[in-house]
Structure formats: structure tokens, C-alpha cells
Structure 1
Amino acid sequence: MIYKLTVALLLVLVGALCHAAETNTIPLELTDSLSGEPVADAVVILEDGPSEPPVEAEIVQKNRNFYPHTLIIPKHSRVDFPNQDNTQHHVYSFSPAKAFNIELYAGRPTEPVVFNKTGVVEIGCNIHDQMQAFILITDSAPSGRTDEQGRLTVEIPPSVDDDSGKIELLVWHPRLTDNTRMARFTIEQPSSGSLELSVELSPEPASDDRLDGLQERFREL
């Protein structure tokens, strides 16, 4: 009898622990506050969510473009900038999260760039105005990117749920009116239904060869 009671108690405790360790999920819908249209391919990050170790990554220069256009890395990661074009490039950034300058070069730079501070790093080429890329340095692993309908399911692990019902989300898209930083939302977890958020996007650029603000700042030096 005692044995049966002990087993039953253990099962109850295990069930309680499993319930406490369950990961909550929130369906999210993101729209443009000006047009009301869904925002696709936006990066969503849960503040204080699970972290990842630093990585070795690359942003390749090919056909006078950066690939990938957006790179998401954990803090303290190292990024190389190999040039696969038959012309030289001059890669630089003035962003507070990481300012750097790799002057005219072909092939592969001598050393990768280390990103030790969280934030958004905007990258350009002083020779080719249309070249632009972004690096997002994070403390938490991204929850993912929104689909064509602006939807994403965000997982909320028990370590983030402090019983207040509130969480903080970071959202970034290259066409945010201020894409040099991530939009921050402090929200209450909905008891049912999806979480609806909106951000303000700039219009689609009229041309790929426009002289953007990053290039103008470089030429003012």
C-alpha cells in the first residue's frame, strides 16, 4: 500500500513539474501601421529568451551586393567579409553597435570583425552606393521571421514567464522608418487568440542605385 502511494505521489510531482516546464506559444500578427498590410520577413526576438553561443559567420560580396542582406548573430560573434567580385570593395559602418572600416581590398580581409555589443549594424560600401546590409547582434536567439501573412508563432519558455503576464518583444525589418534599431514592445500575453502588433514602414525604395544616408555620411568625412 505504501509503495502504491509513493508511486502515485511521484507521478503527481512529475506531472506538476512537466506542467510548470511547458513552453507557452503565442500566435503573432504584424502589420504596417500606415497601409494595414501584413509585414513579411520581419525578425522577432523574445527579450531575455534562450541564448546561443557566438558563431563564425560571413557576409559575402558578390555581383556588387552583400549576401545575406540581413545577418543575425549572437553577441561576441566573428564575421568575415570575403570579396568574390573582380573589383575591390570598401566595407564600413558607423553604427553605434559596431563602427568599423575595411578599406579597399580584394579576396578576404586579414581578420574578421568581432561584434561584442547588441544592436543593429548598418553596412555599406564606399565604392558601390547600392550595396547595403544589416547585422543584428542579439542576446537572445530569434523567435523567427514573419511569413507572407505577417504571422509567426512565438514560443515563451518558462524562464521568461515571471507570472506578470508581460513579455518584451523586439521587432526589426529593413524598411522600419528607423531601421538602425529594433522596435520594442512590452505586451501582455493574450489568454486566447493572436497578438496583433504594428510597425511603421518606409515606402519601397524607388531605385536600387539611390545615394542613401549611410553613403552621404561617409562622404561628409
Structure 2
Amino acid sequence: MYRLTVVLSLALAGILGPMSENVESAEARRLTLELTDATTGQPVADAVVIVESRPGIDPLQAEIVQKGREFRPHTLVIPRNSKVDFPNQDNTQHHVYSFSPAKTFDIELYAGRPAEPVTFDQVGVVEIGCNIHDRMQAFILVTDNEPSGHTDGQGRLTVEFPPPAGKEAGDRLLVWHPRLADNTRMTRFAIDPSQSGPLSLSVELSAEPTGGDRLDALQERFREI
């Protein structure tokens, strides 16, 4: 099971005055999301869920540690313009890189802590690898919206949608999981503003990896650059 770290901060009640808080509580709607695999019908656990109409949070400082020849956490969700450090706690050097459109960077062989963190200034999914250890892989999701959380073992999550901006305004929901058939982007769903019951959605997942096929492909793409 992949471990997902979702950056959740900024309680809105701490920012808005009592009157604003009461208005939002009265008009916001909460739906229970039930996420399943389109192929098997099984619940999808540990999927990151983001409501596009939720306000964003301030950039922050985060890190992905290399330990035991693994990236920890495997998935990190951060606001746009956040800085991420990549400390190496192994007794061997690593070469961390990404050539994802949302952020391309290359930290050549190093031990300890790199001289500077990497700033992620574009929204999207950033896939990270190590050029020395082919099986190392991680993802950074960069967003302009506050994440809602991630689904539990039954594929469920209570999602709060903010008050609509207009009579016809709907909501868009972003869903991401490392085993999405195309995990280089988030899957977007349009949500009917009249929806009131459980929200049943499905995504197409790839099969559970049995070896390092996907990581081997990532490594091969790096060598072709």
C-alpha cells in the first residue's frame, strides 16, 4: 500500500470571522465520495482528492527524505510555489531528478542535504526518480487548492464543497492515485451542483506492479534525455 502524505493546513475558521464562518457552514455542502476501480469495482484507497473551487493555502517548506533507498513519503501534496528539500539519510549517494512538465530538475550525486531546496511553481504531477537506484520513485502533486484528504480503506472520503459562486456554478473534483492508468495528471470530474447523496465515482487503475516495469521505463526515459 502506498503511503500518501497530504499537506492539510489552514483551518478556515481560524482565518474568517464568526459571521463568515456561519455563512459558509450554512451554504457549504458535504458529500460522501465513494471511489472504485472502473475495471474491478473494488474500492480505491489512498487516492488524493482536491476540490478545485476550494481556496488555496500559502506556500510551505517540505521535504522528501531518502532512507532505506526509498523516497519518504512516496507522495507529497503541496501548494504552488512551495519549496521541497531532498535530504539523503542513506550511506550511499543518490541522484534525484524529474523531467515532468510541471517541474524539471536534476540534483546530481550527493550525500547529506542539497545546497538548496527545489521550488515547485507550476500546478501538476511531478514524478521523481533516482538515476542510481532504479526502483526509487515518488510523486509530488502541486496544487492551487487546499486538498480535501485521501480516501480510506473503503474508498470513502467526506468532501466539502464551498458555497457556489453563481446559480449555475458546479464543482470540479480532482482525483489522483499512483496506479492511475495515466498518473502523470490528475483525473477531473464535473460534479452536478444539485448532487446531494453519496458521490460514486470510478477511475481506471493499472494492475498492481509485480516487478519494476514502470520504474524501468522511467529510468529508460531518463537515459534518453
| Interval of TM-score (by shorter of Structure 1 and Structure 2) | 0.7 to 0.9
Q: Quote the residue 2:74 is aligned against.
A: 69
Correspondence for 1:171 among 172, 175, 179: 175
The CA distance in 1 between the partners of 2:207 and 2:25, in whole Å, is 45
> Please, which runs of 5 or more residues in structure 1 have no aligned partner?
1-13
The CA distance in 1 between the partners of 2:98 and 2:207, in whole Å, is 23
Checking the alignment, whether the CA contact within 8 Å between 1:26 and 1:189 is kept in structure 2 is no
TM-score when scaled to structure 1? 0.88
Change (3 A) 1:44 1:104: same
Change (3 A) 1:171 1:30: same
RMSD over equivalenced CA pairs, Å:
1.8
Correspondence for 1:86 among 62, 77, 91: 91
Query: Which letter does structure 2 place at the counterpart of 1:188?
Result: D
Change (3 A) 1:65 1:149: same
The CA distance in 1 between the partners of 2:195 and 2:213, in whole Å, is 47
Checking the alignment, whether the CA contact within 8 Å between 1:129 and 1:209 is kept in structure 2 is no
The CA distance in 2 between the partners of 1:188 and 1:210, in whole Å, is 36
* Identity percentage of aligned residues: 67
The CA distance in 2 between the partners of 1:57 and 1:211, in whole Å, is 24
The CA distance in 2 between the partners of 1:175 and 1:109, in whole Å, is 30
Checking the alignment, whether the CA contact within 8 Å between 2:53 and 2:171 is kept in structure 1 is no
Task: State the Cα deviation string for residues 75-99 of structure 1 (Å, max 9, x = none).
Answer: 0000000000000000000100000
Query: Which letter does structure 2 place at the counterpart of 1:170?
Result: L
Query: Which letter does structure 2 place at the counterpart of 1:176?
Result: L
The CA distance in 2 between the partners of 1:180 and 1:213, in whole Å, is 14
> Please, which runs of 5 or more residues in structure 2 have no aligned partner?
1-18
TM-score when scaled to structure 2? 0.86
The CA distance in 2 between the partners of 1:129 and 1:112, in whole Å, is 23
Shift of 1:163: 2.5
The CA distance in 1 between the partners of 2:47 and 2:113, in whole Å, is 30
Change (3 A) 1:19 1:138: closer
Task: State the Cα deviation string for residues 149-178 of structure 1 (Å, max 9, x = none).
Answer: 1011110122x4532252100000000000
Report the count of equivalent residues: 205
Q: Quote the residue 1:9 is aligned against.
A: none
